[in-house]
Chains A and B, each alone.
Chain A
Amino acid sequence: MVTSKIVSKNLSLWYGEKQALKNISLEIPEKKITALIGPSGCGKSTFIRCLNRMNDLVDKIRIEGEVFYDNNNIYEKNVDVVELRKRIGMVFQKPNPFPMSIYDNVAYGPRIHGMKNVDKIVERSLKDAALWEEVSDRLDHPALGLSGGQQQRLCIARTLAMRPDVILFDEPCSALDPISTGKIESLMETLKDNYTQVIVTHNMQQAARVSSFTAFFLLGELIEVGETKRIFEMPQMKSTEDYITGRFG
């Protein structure tokens, strides 16, 4: 039985006059990887940013509908957005380590939240992010000296340090080579037992490789969602098939 960690109900979003999301109702299953695919501008990144209220920071934005995280509507007025983002972390397209040491990057969140045993948190997070063996002897080195793939895993470690419940990945491998991409994908597989993960990707092979469920977005609408194997073997909607087979122009 798959339970839903996050549920969006009739979620619509406007950037000024332009509607970017149209009545999206989607359930994100717990401790599974859900991939969001679709052409540029289809709303998949906008959608993922609604899940931890990252869009709150955007000007002239209007949101209607509901997003439930563990059955609580995250758009209620009394919701602590900082706490929410601690529970629902995000990894971005371009690795964005802070201009400080490897250690400080991971320790930053736990420190400002007053968490104890920061050394242990840093070590555990780097181990969980499959980076520990590569950096354990140079934790005081600048994070910006790491390779792109290592920087991205450092960002994942930084997210893990806050012990989140959900991790949102917004095209995490688009700037990485195939080896680094493979490492991130293996890492996601390892994290699956403990975290709910959502990945936005343009790489359909990546969606097919890593996810259990796939949702196809087009022009702000959710066209189809289902088990990844079914979506890539036998999609129900013509536009999904056209997109994944490259007949979409």
Chain B
Amino acid sequence: MSPYRERYHRKLDDLVDQTRDLANQASSAIGKSVAALSESNVDLAKEVIKNDQSVDDQSQRIEDLCMELLALQQPMAKDLRRVIGILKIAIDLERISDLAVDVARVTAQSKDKIQITKLEYIPKMAEVDRKMLAQTMEALANGDADLARQVTKWDYEIDGLYVKARDKILKIIIERPEVINEGTSLLMVNRHLERIGDHICNICEAIVYMVEGRREHLN
């Protein structure tokens, strides 16, 4: 069988490439925002905040391409699932990036404040988030629903780290009430990194739907 509608199929492939690009930007935002927090690096935090516009633009490009394909090509079956799936994935990726920007703002706005503790669990969560995101994009590129399902299992690791980090921060706040502002910010960062894991699970659900047409609630 030789394919026709080549331009259409090229655009469908382009949709995946653009989504991977957005995911790379989101992943980079997670890594840099947490590194900025760990190192109290305000410049790096500001870089993440500045780059948010690029993430928003990329997300808009994906949405436009989806609209164009729906309006002009009337995709069906797996193509339709791909377009709908990617529309949802782009929203989650943009949200992930927003959460990373919020993490970066904590550093950007607290430049003169002292680190209340050496960060231990939070960088680990960021690392797991980024690993999950990379594997999720692998699953998207290869149409691998099983890999997408597997990725969601790592969310348990995130949840475990979240609880450990939360308990540690609360303990510090109880022992040293004067750091309540910094402690509260760290609790928010902790929560954001945990939420990023949930967004990645949403993306995995969208990939399973795209590949197999099944709606599964993962994790």
Chain A positions near chain B (C-beta within 8 angstroms): 204-205, 208, 232-235, 240-242, 244-249
Interface residues of B in 39-69 (CB under 8 A from A): none
Known contacts A245-B77, A247-B9; A234/B213 CB under 8 A: yes
Most chain B beta-carbon neighbours within 10 Å: one of A240, A242, A246: A246
B76 contacts A by Cβ under 8 Å: yes
Known contacts A233-B213, A234-B213; A241/B5 CB under 8 A: no
Residue of B nearest to A249 (CB): B2
Question: Does A245 contact B1, Cβ atoms closer than 8 Å?
Answer: no
Known contacts A205-B74, A245-B75; A232/B80 CB under 8 A: yes
Question: Does A235 contact B77, Cβ atoms closer than 8 Å?
Answer: yes
- Chain A residues, CB < 8 A from B79: 245
Residue of A nearest to B6 (CB): A246
Most chain B beta-carbon neighbours within 10 Å: one of A204, A233, A245: A245
- Interchain residue pairs with CB less than 8 A apart (5): A234-B77, A241-B77, A246-B3, A246-B9, A247-B9
4 new A-B contacts, CB < 8 A, other than A245-B78, A249-B3, A249-B4, are A234-B81, A245-B76, A246-B3, A246-B4
> CA A233 – CA B213 in complex, angstroms?
7
Residue of B nearest to A208 (CB): B76
- Chain B residues, CB < 8 A from A241: 77-78
- Chain A residues, CB < 8 A from B8: 246
Question: Does B81 contact A233, Cβ atoms closer than 8 Å?
Answer: yes
- Chain B residues, CB < 8 A from A204: 74, 76
- Chain A residues, CB < 8 A from B5: 246-247
| A129–chain B nearest beta-carbon distance, Å | 28
| A237–chain B nearest beta-carbon distance, Å | 11
Residue of B nearest to A230 (CB): B213
| B143–chain A nearest beta-carbon distance, Å | 13
Residue of A nearest to B81 (CB): A233
> CA A246 – CA B9 in complex, angstroms?
9
- Chain A residues, CB < 8 A from B81: 233-234
| B31–chain A nearest beta-carbon distance, Å | 37
Q: Mark B150-185, 1 if CB is under 8 A from A, else 0.
A: 000000000000000000000000000000000000
> CA A240 – CA B78 in complex, angstroms?
11
Complex partner residue of A248 from B1, B9, B78, B80, CB under 8 angstroms: B1
> CA A247 – CA B9 in complex, angstroms?
9
> CA A61 – CA B79 in complex, angstroms?
40
Question: Does B3 contact A247, Cβ atoms closer than 8 Å?
Answer: yes
Q: Mark B193-219, 1 if CB is under 8 A from A, else 0.
A: 000000000000000000001000000
Residue of B nearest to A238 (CB): B1
> CA A248 – CA B78 in complex, angstroms?
14
Question: Does A244 contact B77, Cβ atoms closer than 8 Å?
Answer: yes
Most chain A beta-carbon neighbours within 10 Å: one of B3, B74, B77, B78: B77
- Sort A-B residue pairs by CB-CB distance and give the 4 closest, nearest first: A234-B213, A249-B2, A246-B5, A244-B76
Residue of B nearest to A232 (CB): B76
- Chain A residues, CB < 8 A from B4: 246-249
> CA A233 – CA B9 in complex, angstroms?
17
> CA A40 – CA B199 in complex, angstroms?
45
> CA A233 – CA B1 in complex, angstroms?
22
> CA A208 – CA B8 in complex, angstroms?
20
> CA A205 – CA B5 in complex, angstroms?
16
Complex partner residue of B1 from A208, A240, A244, A249, CB under 8 angstroms: A249
